[in-house]
Amino acid sequence: MITYTGHLRGDGMRVAVVASRFNDLITERLAEGAHDALVRHGVDESSITLVWTPGAFELPLVARRLAESGDHDAVVCVGAVIRGATDHYTHVATQCAAGIQRVTLDTGVPVVFGVLTTDTTEAALDRAGGKLGNKGFEAATTAVEMVDLLRQLPKSAGPV
Ligand code: INI
């Protein structure tokens, strides 16, 4: 049996973090968590790029631009979509998740979903450096593992 597993070795990796400003009390903490994880896993400070978007809905487009640039081995998206009085939340959260998945599959670059979707601000704060950890840190850790994993796997032969 041949087994592959990604390791948390980020030396030599170039990673972009895309953060949405909407609910910035939370997203600033997620972005900090992502940065912290990248540095802890060996990514050089000068190889980290941080880009801010207005909201989570805009994350996929910016992630695509960064993924297609060839300048980044992975893109980490962080945001906070918090349920309000209307169903706006559902549209933003659903399209953000679907868009990020599409970008990663279309480009082959790991684009990680570090977007909180919660009912309350409190639940988001719990996951942005509070009692339930930091989703930004987790997302950046996933990015490092995925880059390392993809580097080990045989290259795709592509369409015939
Ligand atoms: N954007 C968020 O990142 N989080 C939210 O909770 C949110 N809500 O609830 O409205 C939100 N809306 C803005 C959206 O992401 C776009 O920026 C906007 O619709 C313009 O395209």
Average pLDDT over residues 141-159: 89
Question: Per-residue pLDDT for 138 more than 70?
Answer: yes
**Rounded to 5°, angle at Cα 72 from 108 and 159:** 20
55 alpha carbon – ligand 1 mean position (Å): 5
53 alpha carbon – ligand 1 mean position (Å): 10
Average pLDDT over residues 20-26: 98
Q: Average per-residue pLDDT in the chain?
A: 96
What residues flank ligand 1, with Cβ below 6 Å? 20, 22-23, 54-58, 79-82, 84, 88-89, 92
- Percentage with pLDDT > 70 across the chain: 98
| pTM of the predicted model as reported, rounded to 2 decimal places | 0.96
Q: How far is Cα 97 from Cα 115, in angstroms, rounded to an integer?
A: 8
Q: How far is Cα 134 from Cα 128, in angstroms, rounded to an integer?
A: 4
Judge whether 148 and 43 are in contact, CB under 8 Å: no
Atom of ligand 1 nearest to the CA of 96: 15
DSSP state of 56: G
* Residue 160 confidence class, pLDDT cut points 50, 70, 90: low
Cα 153 to chain center, whole Å? 21
Judge whether 98 and 104 are in contact, CB under 8 Å: no
Q: How far is Cα 8 from Cα 41, in angstroms, rounded to an integer?
A: 6
Q: How far is Cα 141 from Cα 37, in angstroms, rounded to an integer?
A: 6
